[in-house]
Amino acid sequence: MGTTDSPADATETPVDPDAIRERLDRVNDPELDRSIVELQYIDDIDIDGGSVTVTFVLPTAWCSPAFAWMMATGIRDEVRALPGVTDVTVRLPDHMHGEQITTGVNREQSFESIFEDAEDGIADVRRKLDEKARFARQYDAIRALRDSGLDPDQIVSLTRDDIDLEFRSAAVAVSVRDGVLTVTAPREPLSEYLEKARATGLVTDGTDRLFADRDGSPLDPEPEAFEFSLRDARLAVSNIEGQATICASLHESRNDVTIDEPGD
């Protein structure tokens, strides 16, 4: 897996390979909710002046074309936003729909125009996966709040305005009891949860409640109901982790890579 670059014209902004990887790190496998860089999907980055070609590979040749399409468009859009990049080509070799995806994404065509027989449009698939990821991320966010001393009543009452993400680099400030009390909690699980809560439309305003059940209904603070919802969120995490383990094994065998466990 290499990076090749040619000297850019002196009048042009040189394209930074590290900046490209930083951008690619923002693109997730939508099913596994994990960065394609962490998952070792990036096979090659070729830089020729302002032209960038990114080749990515997947664990199997039959990975969902919708998932592959979302990753390919994510790669294209993230890299294209960089200073000095004039055009982006995305390649997906060794996939049963690789040629269709490569051609369609690079020509700015829609998923539906390429895969006319698909049951769901790409927006519907993305929405379902975002909702699944939002609920799974909720488990870690609530666990972080409970470890900080909040009880179910306080947690279910939290709104976006109660979370101060700018408090510290590694922590957030959480206001409870109408601002009478402020506690701190780890930043990462809450900021990552909020990212998906916004993507799904659950949190669009400062007064919106932070958390909801799998179906979007408000959480019940009653202890038994609250614990049931938390177990359900943990099950969502387990399902993603189980699929990730299978995909990692297939990817390592097929593409000769080594994938670190999350947090390593």
Residue 44 burial class via C-beta count within 10 angstroms: exposed 0-12, middle 13-18, buried 19 and up: middle
Residues 6+ apart with CB under 8 A from 83: 13
What pLDDT is stored for residue 117 in this prediction?
86
What pLDDT is stored for residue 7 in this prediction?
43
Beta bridge partners of 54: 45, 90
- How far is it between the farthest Cα atoms of the chain? 66
Q: Residue 153 is which amino acid?
A: D
Q: Chain centroid to CA 226: how far? A: 26
Q: Which two tokens stand for residue 132?
A: 């699944």
Q: Which two tokens stand for residue 149?
A: 């001393």
Per-position DSSP letters for 181-231, written without gaps between them: EEEEEEHHHHHHHHHHHHHTTS--STTSBS-B-TTSPBPP-SHHHHHHHHH
What pLDDT is stored for residue 132 in this prediction?
97
Question: How far is the C-alpha of 209 from the C-alpha of 175, rounded, in Å?
Answer: 13
| Domain residue extents for the chain | 2-114, 122-240
Nearest CA to 5 out of 40, 41, 50 is that of 50
**Topology of 2-114 in CATH?**
GMP Synthetase; Chain A, domain 3 (3.30.300)
144-169 pLDDT tens trace: 999 999 999 999 999 999 999 988 88
Q: Which two tokens stand for residue 32?
A: 């596994």
Q: Are 241 and 232 in contact (CB under 8 A)?
A: no
92-145 pLDDT tens trace: 999 999 999 999 999 999 999 999 988 789 999 999 999 999 999 999 999 999
Q: What is the pTM of this model?
A: 0.88
Provide the terminal-to-terminal Cα distance of the chain, rounded to the nearest Å. Answer: 21
Residue 3 has pLDDT above 90, yes or no: no
Q: How confident is the model at residue 6 (pLDDT cuts 50, 70, 90)?
A: very low
Question: How far is the C-alpha of 68 from the C-alpha of 102, rounded, in Å?
Answer: 10
Q: How confident is the model at residue 9 (pLDDT cuts 50, 70, 90)?
A: very low
Q: Which long-range contacts (CB under 8 A, 24 or more apart) does 222-227 make?
A: 222/152, 223/152, 226/152, 226/155, 226/156
